[in-house]
Amino acid sequence: MASPEIDTLTQALSRLPGLGPRSARRAVLHLVKRRETALDPLLRALEAVAEKLATCSICGNVDTTDPCGICSDTRRDSRSICVVEEVADLWALDRSRLFPGRFHVLGGRLSALDGVRPEDLTIDALLRRIEAGGIDEIVLAMNATLEGQTTSHYIAERIEAFPVRVTQLAHGLPVGGELDYLDEGTLAQALRARRPVA
Protein backbone atom coordinates (compact mmCIF):
# COMPACT_ATOMS: atom_id res chain seq x y z
CA MET A 1 0.00 0.00 0.00
CA ALA A 2 2.93 2.35 0.63
CA SER A 3 4.36 4.18 -2.37
CA PRO A 4 7.15 2.49 -4.33
CA GLU A 5 9.63 5.09 -3.09
CA ILE A 6 8.74 4.49 0.54
CA ASP A 7 8.81 0.71 0.00
CA THR A 8 12.26 0.94 -1.56
CA LEU A 9 13.55 3.03 1.32
CA THR A 10 12.09 0.57 3.84
CA GLN A 11 13.81 -2.30 2.07
CA ALA A 12 17.15 -0.49 1.87
CA LEU A 13 17.02 0.24 5.61
CA SER A 14 15.87 -3.27 6.53
CA ARG A 15 19.09 -4.65 5.03
CA LEU A 16 21.22 -2.79 7.57
CA PRO A 17 22.53 -5.00 10.36
CA GLY A 18 20.34 -4.68 13.43
CA LEU A 19 17.29 -3.42 11.52
CA GLY A 20 14.62 -5.92 10.52
CA PRO A 21 11.54 -5.13 8.39
CA ARG A 22 9.62 -3.95 11.42
CA SER A 23 12.20 -1.53 12.75
CA ALA A 24 12.92 -0.37 9.19
CA ARG A 25 9.27 0.62 8.86
CA ARG A 26 9.44 2.51 12.14
CA ALA A 27 12.63 4.22 10.97
CA VAL A 28 11.01 5.27 7.68
CA LEU A 29 7.99 6.64 9.52
CA HIS A 30 10.35 8.54 11.82
CA LEU A 31 12.15 9.96 8.77
CA VAL A 32 9.10 11.00 6.73
CA LYS A 33 7.47 12.62 9.75
CA ARG A 34 10.61 14.61 10.53
CA ARG A 35 11.84 15.88 7.24
CA GLU A 36 13.96 18.78 8.52
CA THR A 37 15.34 17.14 11.66
CA ALA A 38 15.83 13.54 10.51
CA LEU A 39 15.42 12.83 6.80
CA ASP A 40 17.37 15.78 5.39
CA PRO A 41 20.29 15.43 7.87
CA LEU A 42 20.58 11.71 7.15
CA LEU A 43 20.43 12.37 3.40
CA ARG A 44 23.16 15.03 3.62
CA ALA A 45 25.31 12.79 5.84
CA LEU A 46 25.03 9.90 3.38
CA GLU A 47 25.82 12.19 0.44
CA ALA A 48 28.90 13.54 2.18
CA VAL A 49 30.21 10.06 2.94
CA ALA A 50 29.32 8.69 -0.51
CA GLU A 51 31.08 11.60 -2.18
CA LYS A 52 34.37 11.12 -0.35
CA LEU A 53 34.43 7.41 0.45
CA ALA A 54 37.87 5.94 -0.12
CA THR A 55 39.93 2.90 0.80
CA CYS A 56 43.22 3.98 2.35
CA SER A 57 46.02 3.09 -0.04
CA ILE A 58 48.38 2.59 2.90
CA CYS A 59 46.45 0.54 5.45
CA GLY A 60 43.19 -0.55 3.79
CA ASN A 61 40.96 1.37 6.21
CA VAL A 62 37.75 2.82 4.78
CA ASP A 63 37.50 6.56 5.34
CA THR A 64 36.62 9.82 3.64
CA THR A 65 40.25 10.63 2.88
CA ASP A 66 43.18 8.71 1.39
CA PRO A 67 45.47 8.29 3.28
CA CYS A 68 42.93 7.70 6.03
CA GLY A 69 42.68 9.81 9.18
CA ILE A 70 44.79 7.35 11.13
CA CYS A 71 47.62 7.09 8.58
CA SER A 72 47.79 10.86 8.23
CA ASP A 73 47.63 11.56 11.98
CA THR A 74 51.20 12.58 12.84
CA ARG A 75 50.49 12.26 16.57
CA ARG A 76 50.21 8.50 16.17
CA ASP A 77 53.20 6.22 16.58
CA SER A 78 54.27 5.36 13.05
CA ARG A 79 56.74 2.75 14.33
CA SER A 80 54.15 0.12 15.22
CA ILE A 81 51.54 -1.45 13.01
CA CYS A 82 48.60 -3.49 14.26
CA VAL A 83 47.52 -6.06 11.66
CA VAL A 84 43.80 -6.92 11.61
CA GLU A 85 41.57 -9.09 9.47
CA GLU A 86 38.82 -6.60 8.68
CA VAL A 87 38.03 -2.89 8.74
CA ALA A 88 35.54 -3.69 11.53
CA ASP A 89 38.43 -4.88 13.72
CA LEU A 90 40.39 -1.71 12.99
CA TRP A 91 37.42 0.44 13.97
CA ALA A 92 36.86 -1.56 17.17
CA LEU A 93 40.52 -1.27 18.21
CA ASP A 94 40.67 2.38 17.22
CA ARG A 95 37.56 3.11 19.25
CA SER A 96 39.18 1.54 22.31
CA ARG A 97 42.03 4.09 21.98
CA LEU A 98 44.32 1.45 23.44
CA PHE A 99 46.64 1.18 20.46
CA PRO A 100 48.60 4.35 19.65
CA GLY A 101 50.12 3.12 16.37
CA ARG A 102 48.83 2.52 12.88
CA PHE A 103 46.97 -0.36 11.28
CA HIS A 104 47.01 -2.77 8.39
CA VAL A 105 43.82 -4.41 7.13
CA LEU A 106 44.37 -7.84 5.58
CA GLY A 107 40.92 -8.03 4.03
CA GLY A 108 40.19 -11.44 5.50
CA ARG A 109 41.91 -14.53 6.84
CA LEU A 110 43.58 -17.52 5.26
CA SER A 111 41.01 -20.25 4.74
CA ALA A 112 41.37 -23.54 2.93
CA LEU A 113 37.61 -23.96 3.25
CA ASP A 114 36.77 -20.64 1.60
CA GLY A 115 39.73 -20.81 -0.78
CA VAL A 116 41.42 -17.69 0.63
CA ARG A 117 45.16 -17.82 -0.14
CA PRO A 118 47.97 -15.45 0.95
CA GLU A 119 47.77 -13.57 -2.36
CA ASP A 120 44.08 -12.82 -1.68
CA LEU A 121 45.08 -10.81 1.40
CA THR A 122 47.17 -7.62 1.60
CA ILE A 123 50.19 -9.47 3.01
CA ASP A 124 52.58 -8.27 0.27
CA ALA A 125 51.55 -4.69 0.93
CA LEU A 126 52.30 -5.24 4.63
CA LEU A 127 55.78 -6.59 3.78
CA ARG A 128 56.42 -3.54 1.59
CA ARG A 129 55.46 -1.25 4.47
CA ILE A 130 57.95 -3.09 6.69
CA GLU A 131 60.63 -3.06 3.98
CA ALA A 132 60.24 0.69 3.60
CA GLY A 133 61.62 0.91 7.13
CA GLY A 134 60.85 2.88 10.27
CA ILE A 135 58.79 0.06 11.79
CA ASP A 136 59.74 -1.40 15.19
CA GLU A 137 56.79 -3.64 16.00
CA ILE A 138 54.08 -5.58 14.23
CA VAL A 139 51.14 -6.50 16.47
CA LEU A 140 49.16 -9.40 15.04
CA ALA A 141 45.54 -8.93 16.09
CA MET A 142 43.81 -11.73 14.23
CA ASN A 143 40.67 -13.29 15.64
CA ALA A 144 41.22 -16.09 18.13
CA THR A 145 39.86 -18.62 15.64
CA LEU A 146 41.66 -21.46 13.92
CA GLU A 147 41.80 -19.52 10.65
CA GLY A 148 42.81 -16.32 12.40
CA GLN A 149 45.67 -18.08 14.15
CA THR A 150 46.77 -19.83 10.95
CA THR A 151 46.91 -16.41 9.32
CA SER A 152 48.81 -15.04 12.29
CA HIS A 153 51.46 -17.78 12.12
CA TYR A 154 51.81 -17.44 8.36
CA ILE A 155 52.41 -13.71 8.59
CA ALA A 156 54.80 -14.10 11.52
CA GLU A 157 56.90 -16.45 9.38
CA ARG A 158 56.91 -14.07 6.43
CA ILE A 159 58.04 -11.22 8.70
CA GLU A 160 60.77 -13.24 10.45
CA ALA A 161 63.44 -12.01 8.03
CA PHE A 162 62.86 -8.38 8.98
CA PRO A 163 64.34 -6.67 12.04
CA VAL A 164 61.00 -5.99 13.70
CA ARG A 165 59.45 -7.29 16.88
CA VAL A 166 56.36 -9.42 16.15
CA THR A 167 53.77 -9.78 18.91
CA GLN A 168 50.23 -10.98 19.08
CA LEU A 169 47.26 -10.22 21.30
CA ALA A 170 47.18 -12.31 24.45
CA HIS A 171 44.57 -15.05 24.58
CA GLY A 172 42.93 -16.11 27.80
CA LEU A 173 40.01 -15.41 30.05
CA PRO A 174 37.94 -12.46 28.90
CA VAL A 175 37.59 -9.86 31.64
CA GLY A 176 34.55 -10.78 33.69
CA GLY A 177 34.51 -14.23 32.15
CA GLU A 178 33.32 -16.98 34.45
CA LEU A 179 35.22 -20.23 34.13
CA ASP A 180 32.20 -22.47 33.85
CA TYR A 181 30.78 -20.44 30.98
CA LEU A 182 33.96 -20.51 28.90
CA ASP A 183 34.59 -22.92 26.06
CA GLU A 184 37.37 -25.47 26.46
CA GLY A 185 39.62 -23.78 23.91
CA THR A 186 39.70 -20.54 25.87
CA LEU A 187 40.30 -22.43 29.11
CA ALA A 188 43.14 -24.45 27.57
CA GLN A 189 44.74 -21.30 26.18
CA ALA A 190 44.42 -19.49 29.51
CA LEU A 191 46.01 -22.41 31.29
CA ARG A 192 48.86 -22.77 28.78
CA ALA A 193 49.64 -19.07 28.95
CA ARG A 194 49.49 -18.92 32.75
CA ARG A 195 51.88 -16.50 34.42
CA PRO A 196 53.37 -16.19 37.89
CA VAL A 197 51.24 -14.10 40.22
CA ALA A 198 52.92 -10.70 40.49
Q: What's the DSSP call for residue 162? A: S
- We find the least distance from the C-beta atom of residue 71 to Zn ion, in angstroms, to be 3
Residue 90 makes contact with Zn ion by CB under 5 A: no
Q: Judged by CB under 8 A, which of 64, 131, 165, 188 binds a copy of itself? A: 64
- Please state, in angstroms and rounded to a whole number, the distance separating the CA atoms of residues 55 and 53: 7
Helix (H, G, I), strand (E, B) or coil at 79: coil
**DSSP-derived secondary structure for 1-46:** ---HHHHHHHHHHHTSTT--HHHHHHHHHHHHH-IIIIIHHHHHHH
Residue 43 makes contact with a copy of itself by CB under 8 A: yes
- We find the least distance from the C-beta atom of residue 72 to a copy of itself, in angstroms, to be 11
- We find the least distance from the C-beta atom of residue 141 to a copy of itself, in angstroms, to be 16
- Please state, in angstroms and rounded to a whole number, the distance separating the CA atoms of residues 117 and 125: 15
Q: What is the C-alpha radius of gyration for the chain, rounded to an integer number of angstroms?
A: 21
- We find the least distance from the C-beta atom of residue 184 to Zn ion, in angstroms, to be 38
Interacting stretch for Zn ion, rule CB under 5 A, among 22-30, 50-58, 91-99, 122-130?
50-58
Q: Give kind and range of the element (H or E) at residue 80.
A: strand 80-84
Which residues here bind Zn ion, judged by CB under 5 A?
56, 58-59, 61, 67-68, 71
Which residues here bind a copy of itself, judged by CB under 8 A?
1-6, 8-9, 11-13, 15-19, 23, 25-33, 35, 38-43, 45-50, 52-53, 62-65, 69-70, 87-88, 91, 94-95, 97
